[in-house]
Structure 1
């Protein structure tokens, strides 16, 4: 398979990685500075959300790295391998971790939404949980399908 076929997806991985990196490096210090100056009442909720964002950045980048590796396996005509299954399992676990962390953060979204009188913030928190959950389910289905394809491929290789 030509390398150009996955080039667009690899570029998309960089596009997905950039905003989170910029947010963690540039925006979070500004948020923490504003907390230090005092927002009265919701400081602990904002600080908790910042901590959750930093913690979820780690599994997010692990999942992106595994997606990069998966695309590299596809480039090397090694898509139907145990390495691909392992990469998808790690992506699934990372998505589950992200979803669980944002479930734990939902009360903080609620506190901040009550203070700011913006119920839409709770929906944003739910969307984060839902998006990570969908990715986890999708990766689990892909692991199962890939496992079946590998078994069929192995069986066919043995009969020929």
Structure 2
């Protein structure tokens, strides 16, 4: 594969990570403070919002790192290797953990949407859960296909 294509994908991965970093720095504290404004008697909700959103960022950035590694393997013509399969497996695990984490955090989205009278907040939470699950399934399918291709390649190498 041409290096320009993977360079474009690396830039895209970087551009995906930048807004999430900005959100973690600027928006998450505002969202947590807004949750306290909505429920002044339940100040512990602020820490639950911090926990949910920052804990979701950890597997997100680990998955982006795995995507960078996968693109590096493609650049080195090692796309059909066990390391690529392992990177896809890690991406799948990260997507499942993000989806599970936000599914567990849906009551927070519900509380915010109920008090603020905006159902869009609940929809945002559902989009994150379902998008993460789609990514997990897609990565798992790619992982399985890549593993089958590696198995076929190793069979062909043994017969020659």
TM-score, normalization by structure 1: 0.91
Q: Does 1:102 align with 2:102?
A: yes
The runs of 5 or more residues in structure 2 that have no matched partner are: none
State how far apart, in whole Å, the 1-side matches of 2:33 and 2:109 are. Answer: 20
Q: How does 1:26-65 map to 2 (within 5 A)?
A: 26-32=26-32, 39-41=37-39, 43-65=43-65
Question: CA RMSD of the aligned region, Å?
Answer: 1.7
- Count of residue pairs the alignment pairs up: 158
1:118 is paired with a residue whose SS is coil
Equivalent residues in 2 for 1:6-155, closer than 5 Å? 6-32=6-32, 39-41=37-39, 43-155=43-155
Runs of 4+ residues over 3 Å off in structure 1: 29-35, 42-47
Asked whether the 8 Å contact 2:6–2:75 carries over to 1, the reply is yes
Distance apart, 1:129 and its partner CA: 0.3
- Residues 32 and 49, structure 2, Cα contact 8 Å, conserved in 1: no
Q: Are residues 147 and 73 of structure 1, via their aligned partners in 2, closer, same or farther at CA, if it must alter by over 3 Å? A: same
TM-score (normalised: structure 2): 0.91
Which secondary structure state, in structure 2, belongs to the residue aligned with residue 39 of structure 1? helix
Shift of 1:33: 5.1
**CA offset digits 1:108-159 (Å, max 9, x no partner):** 1111111000112111111100000000001110111001000000011111
Indicate conservation of the 8 Å contact 1:28/1:50, yes or no: yes
Distance in 1 between residues matched to 2:139 and 2:34, nearest whole Å: 39
Deviates more, 1:78-87 or 1:44-53: 44-53
Does the 8 A contact of 2:13 with 2:64 survive in 1? yes
Q: Is the 8 A contact 2:38 2:116 kept in 1?
A: no
Distance 1:16 1:24 in 2: 13
Q: Is the 8 A contact 2:80 2:150 kept in 1?
A: yes
List per-residue Cα deviations over 1:47-104 (Å, max 9, x = no partner): 4233211001100000000000000000000000000000000000000000000000
Q: For the residues of structure 2 that align with 1:105 and 1:40, how far apart are their CA atoms?
A: 17
